[in-house]
Amino acid sequence: LFAIDATTGVVTVIGNLDHDLNDTHSIEIIATSTDGSTSTGAFNITVTDADGTLPGGGDTDNPVGPVTDSNAL
């Protein structure tokens, strides 16, 4: 469900998180320095329930259209 960038250390979500199936995840990261020494860290990730709605009720007067190849992210 998670990936880490070996250069920056940024952890990203690569799978679907579902609060109803699992509201917490634990990961352990092992960092290795250029001299071969290591350091570990344990992290707990809490998944909140999105409830299927946007905060503030959502923006109902500004519809979003499809993304085309020319403006894809």
Contact indicator for 34, 50 with CB cutoff of 8 Å: no
Confidence at residue 39, expressed as pLDDT on a 0 to 100 scale? 94
> In 3D, which of 8, 45, 5 has the Cα closest to residue 25?
45
Angle at 54 between CA 47 and CA 71, to 5 degrees: 95
Identify the residue with better confidence: 42 or 71: 42
**Is the pLDDT reported for residue 73 higher than 60?**
no
In one-letter notation, the amino acid at residue 19 is: H
pLDDT grade, residue 61 (50/70/90)?
A: low
Q: Between the CA of residue 13 and those of 10, 33, 34, 59, what are the distances in Å?
A: 10, 24, 27, 26
pLDDT band at 69 (very low <50, low <70, confident <90, very high): low
Tell me, what DSSP letter sits at residue 67?
A: P
Task: Give the pLDDT confidence score for residue 53 in this predicted structure.
Answer: 58
